[in-house]
Every structure is written in C-alpha cells, then in structure tokens.
Amino acid sequence: MAVKKNVKSPENNNLSDGKMALGMRNYKLMLIGFAIVVLGLILMTGGGTDSPTEFNYEMFSFRRITLSTIIVLGGFAFVGYAIMSKGKEGKSKDK
C-alpha cells in the first residue's frame, strides 16, 4: 500500500505569487542600519600626519578607537534586527 505524503507544491509557496521575501519596512530598517555603519566608519577616519617621521597621538583618540567601534557594531546589530523582524502581515488594511 502506498503512503501518501503531504508535499507542498510550488503554487502554495509564499514567494511564488511575486511577493518579496522581506517587506518595505525591513528594507527601510536595513538602510538605516547601513547608514549607522557608514557613520561609524567615517568616525574612524583621520588622525594621520603628512610626515612619516612624526607620530600623532590623535590616532588613538576615544572617538576613533572606542566610539566608532561601538557605533559600527551597533549598526550591524540593527541590520540583523531589520532582517529578522517580522512584517505587519497579520493586520488588515481595511481598518
């Protein structure tokens, strides 16, 4: 006797009807997260000198070593949240 398996056909797949995997809210949050990462990378720049014989201690400032690293890691965490967050698919639009 043959055993009948419940296999979903491609027609029942959520992505087969032309919808995107993530909603617009997710993409907006991802853009905000990438902007935070870019801000942290901008804060890391600077502190160099024109002459290689001079040593500039400004290279080791709080802004470049600690603050920018925290901002970049926070931006990556925000992007991770943006990807994993669930959209508002349970709410109806007619309200």
pTM (predicted TM-score): 0.69
Q: Which two tokens stand for residue 47?
A: 């502190």
CA distance to 4, 5, 6, 40, 84, per residue, from 1 (Å): 10, 13, 16, 64, 43
Residues of the chain with pLDDT under 70: 1-2, 4-18, 87-95
Exposure of 3 by Cβ count < 10 A (0-12 exposed, 13-18 middle, 19+ buried)? exposed
Tens-place pLDDT, residues 8-34: 555 555 555 667 788 899 999 999 999
